[in-house]
Structure formats: structure tokens, C-alpha cells
Amino acid sequence: MTNTAVDTKRIIVALDFPDVPTARQLVAQLDPSLCRVKIGKELFTRCGPSFVEELVSQGFDVFLDLKYHDIPNTVAKAVSAAAQLGVWMVNVHASGGRAMMTAAREAVEASAHKPLLIAVTVLTSMAQSDLLEVGVNGTPEEQVLKLARLSQDCGMDGVVCSAAETSILASQLGKDFVLVTPGIRPAGDAANDQKRIVTPVDAIAAGSHYLVIGRPISQAANPGEKLKTILAQLDGKIGNLC
Ligand code: C5P
């Protein structure tokens, strides 16, 4: 396992924007010493690696959320390319299987810069009926645990998980297995399209290491201040809760 020291910089701000100028407007209001940022498929597909490099050069830790899922060789090459961009975290789909995750791990180990390697278990958009249609008979919870165990066995540093799964995964997989949790809403904020939300404090208390937060920060009147307000809520709690 590499680079897993859990630190106090727990918030990953999701840069869910269609273009670089809009993303830059938010980034300009964020302090890289207080948060990390996440680039997903939309922004990356539109803007490519140069914006990732721009953020890295500004001192931001970048989570490149591209959820690789392909044959082992292809995923390993993609993970190597992400590592060369200098990203802090990269992810793959656990359902790509042992050989694919092992190849991804080997690619990180062979890289000069070693990002955290995280797996996606079951997409939270999938219900039991969706799993049945793709040949999975267990409940979503059973499948999440099964894939999280496999991910750990293959040397992944952690998994992305919903707030509902955080406690069970933290208790079953140990405190060093990194849990990255979206669906976070500070008390009083709009849920938007998220169904099961938890507050930052509750997510950390349940064992989450990193909180992915998008709209509560990006749509705030003053994103930099909103980030500081959330950090103040966590202040003093992180050490006690880890
Ligand atoms: O705006 P909001 O805080 O809901 O954004 C959450 C971010 O986390 C988005 O980038 C979304 O794609 C991502 N995410 C999620 N639920 C998951 C996995 C990722 O909301 N299960």
C-alpha cells in the first residue's frame, strides 16, 4: 500500500463543470492547503490532461475520477498515464476483476509518482433489480462488501463508498483502508439529486477518510468561505474520530 497516511485535508471538491473557465473560477477561490479537487469524465473529456497538469502545478492534489474498466493491460497503461500527470488519486472499477486491479497496482508501483489507487464497487445508481439484470444475484450490500474485500486483496488503497456503506466497510476492512464518500451535505443544505445524504461530521464519524463535496461548495455564494465553514465543523473532531 502506498501513500495512505490519512491527513486532515479531508474534503475533495468535485469540479463538475463543462469547461475550464468555469472550473477555474471556482478553483481560484479554493486554497490547495485546505482541500483537494476531483476531475471527472465530463471535464476531462472536454479539457483533457492539460487542466489536470495546471491544477497539479498550482499545488492541488487531484483525484482523477475516470473509473477505468478494461482489460488489464489497457487499465495499467491508463493508470501509468494518470500517475505521470502527477495526480494524487485515481480509480478503477473493482468489477474489472483481480487481474485488472493487480495490473493497476503494478502500474502504480512502477511509476515514479504513486497516486492512491481506489476502486469503485457497486455504482450507487444500481438497485437490486439492475444487478440481477447484469447477472449479480446478491444484494447491493453483499456485492459491495465482496468487491471491497477483493479490492483490498488486490492491493487497492481503498474504495469509493456511499455513506450507507461506510461503517460496515470501516469495521470489516480496517481503519487504514481508505474510504472515499460522496453524497455529503452540511446540515441545512439542499440534498439536490442525492438520495441518502450524511453530514461531514457524521461521515467522518462513520469512518470515511475523504469526503467528496460538489454543489454545497461550488454553488455557494462564497465557495472559499463555505469550505472553511465545513472545515470548522470538522475542526477538533478528526483526531478523535480516526
Ligand atoms: O454536488 P454533489 O456533492 O452531489 O457531487 C458529488 C460528486 O460525487 C459528483 O462528482 C458525483 O459524480 C460524485 N459521486 C456521487 N455518488 C457516487 C459516486 C460519485 O455523487 N456514488
- What's the pLDDT band for 163 if we cut at 50, 70, 90? confident
Question: Strand, helix or coil at 14?
Answer: strand
Shortest-distance Cα residue to atom 14 of ligand 1: 182
- For residue 211, report the distance from its CA to the centre of ligand 1, in Å: 10
- pLDDT above 60 for 92: yes
Q: pTM, whole model, 2 decimals?
A: 0.94
Shortest-distance Cα residue to atom 2 of ligand 1: 214
- For residue 162, report the distance from its CA to the centre of ligand 1, in Å: 10
- For residue 112, report the distance from its CA to the centre of ligand 1, in Å: 30
- For residue 65, report the distance from its CA to the centre of ligand 1, in Å: 10
- pLDDT above 80 for 32: yes
Residue ranges lining ligand 1, Cβ < 6 Å: 14, 16, 40, 124, 160, 162, 182-183, 192, 194, 212-216
Q: Which residue has the higher pLDDT, 4 or 78?
A: 78
pLDDT for 7 equals 66
- What's the pLDDT band for 1 if we cut at 50, 70, 90? very low
Number of helices (H), then strands (E), belonging to the chain: the values are 12, 8
Atom from ligand 1 closest to the CA of residue 213: 3
Domains of the chain, residue spans? 11-236
pLDDT for 235 equals 84
* Average pLDDT of the chain to the nearest whole number: 93
Distances (CA, A) of 102 to 51, 79, 114, 220: 29, 12, 15, 40
Shortest-distance Cα residue to atom 6 of ligand 1: 214
List residues with catalytic annotation. 67
Q: Tell me how far apart the alpha carbons of residues 242 and 222 are, in angstroms, rounded to a whole number.
A: 29
CATH superfamily to which 11-236 belongs? Aldolase class I (3.20.20.70)
pLDDT digits (tens, 9 = 90+) for 100-151: 999 999 999 999 999 999 999 999 889 999 999 999 999 999 999 999 999 9
Shortest-distance Cα residue to atom 10 of ligand 1: 14
Reported for 193-198, long-range contacts at CB under 8 A and 24+ positions apart, including other chains, are 196/162, 196/163, 196/164, 197/163, 198/163, 198/166
- pLDDT above 70 for 189: yes
